[in-house]
Structure 1
Amino acid sequence: MLAGAAFAIVGPAAAAVAAPSTPDEGDDKSLREVLEAASKGHIEAKAKLDNSKKRQRELTEQFERLQLELSLLTDEIGLMAAESYRLGRLSSVGMLLNSASPEAMLQRAAGLEVMAQREGRNLRALAEAHEQAARAKAAIDNEVREQEKQVAIMARKKQDAQRALAAVGSRSSGGFVSANSAAANPAPRNSDGSWPSESCSVDDPTTSGCITPRTLHAMNQAKTAGFTRYVSCFRNGGSGEHPKGRACDFSAESGGFKNRDATGDNRTYGNNLAAYYVNNADRLGVLYVIWYRQIWMPGNGWSSYNGGGSPAGDHTNHVHLSML
Structure 2
Amino acid sequence: MPRTSPSRQLGRRALLALLAAVALLLAGGAVPAYAEPGEGGTKKLRDALELTAKGHIEAKAKLDNSKRRQAALTGELRTVEARLVELTAQAGEVAAHSYRLGRLTPTSMLLNTATPQEFLQRAADLELMAQRDGRRLRDLTDARQQAQQAKVAIDAEVREQQKQLAVMAKKKKEAEAALAAVSSGGSNGFSGGSSASAKPAPRNPDGSWPSESCSVDDPTTSGCITPRTLNALKQTQAAGYKRYVSCHRSGGDGEHPKGRACDFAAATNGFEDKTATGGDKAYGDSLAAWHVRNASRLGVLYVIWYRQIWHPGTGWRSYSGSGSPAADHTNHVHLSMY
TM over 0.5: yes
CA gap 1:19/1:150 in 2 versus in 1, 3 angstroms: farther
Amino acid at match of 1:171: G
Equivalent residue in structure 2 for 1:252, among 258, 266, 278: 266
Q: In the TM superposition, what are the counterparts of 1:77-96 in structure 2 within 5 Å?
A: 77-96=91-110
Query: 4+ residue runs of structure 1 moved beyond 6 angstroms?
Result: 10-16
2:4 maps to what in 1? none
In the alignment, is the contact (CA less than 8 A) between 1:42 and 1:153 conserved in 2? Answer: yes
Inter-partner Cα distance in structure 2 for 1:12 and 1:124: 79
Give TM-score, length-normalised by structure 2: 0.87
2:52 aligns with: 38
Contact 2:212 2:227 in 1 (8 A): yes
Match of 1:99 among 91, 113, 118: 113
CA distance in 1, matches of 2:166, 2:251: 36
Q: Distance in 1 between matches of 2:253 and 2:28?
A: 21
Shift of 1:236: 0.6
State which of 257, 267, 280 in structure 1 corresponds to 2:281. 267
Aligned partner of residue 277 in structure 1, secondary structure: helix
Which AA in structure 1 matches 2:69? R
Find the aligned partners of 1:64 and 1:246 in 2 and give their Cα distance: 45
> Among residues 174, 179, 195, which one is paired with 2:188 in the alignment?
174
Q: 1:276 and 2:293 equivalent?
A: no
Cα deviations by residue, 1:224-273 (Å, 9 ceiling, x for unpaired): 11111111111111111011111011111233212121111111111000
Shift of 1:181: 2.6
Bigger CA radius of gyration = 2
TM-score by structure 1 length?
A: 0.91
Residue type at the aligned position of 2:138: R
Q: Among the aligned pairs, what percent are the same residue? A: 63
Distance change in 2, residues 1:134/1:182 (3 Å): closer
40, 47, 71: which one aligns with 1:57: 71
1:68 aligns with 82
Matching residue within 47, 56, 65 for 2:61: 47
Contact 1:49 1:146 in 2 (8 A): yes
Q: Corresponding residue for 2:322? A: 308
Instruction: State the alpha-carbon separation in 2 of the partners of residues 292 and 14 from structure 1.
Output: 28
> 1:15, CA displacement in angstroms?
8.8
CA contact (8 A) 1:247 1:323 kept: yes
Structure 1 residue 227 corresponds to structure 2 residue 261: no
What is aligned with 2:332?
A: 318
Q: Secondary structure at the match of 1:296?
A: strand
Letter in 2 for 1:90: L
Cα distance change of structure 1 residues 302 and 19 upon mapping to structure 2, 3 Å threshold:
farther
Deviation of 1:206 after TM superposition, in Å, equals 1.0
> Would you say the 8 A contact 2:175–2:313 is kept in 1?
no
User: Which residue of 1 is the match for residue 139 of structure 2?
Assistant: 125
Name the count of aligned residue pairs.
315
CA-based RMSD of the aligned residues comes to 2.1
CA distance in 2 between partners of 1:300 and 1:12 (Å): 43
Q: Distance in 2 between matches of 1:180 and 1:168?
A: 28
Q: Secondary structure at the match of 1:167?
A: coil
For structure 1, list consecutive stretches of 5 or more residues without a partner in the other structure: 1-9
Q: Name the CA distance, whole Å, in 1 between partners of 2:318 and 2:327.
A: 13
Does 1:202 find its partner at 2:216?
A: yes
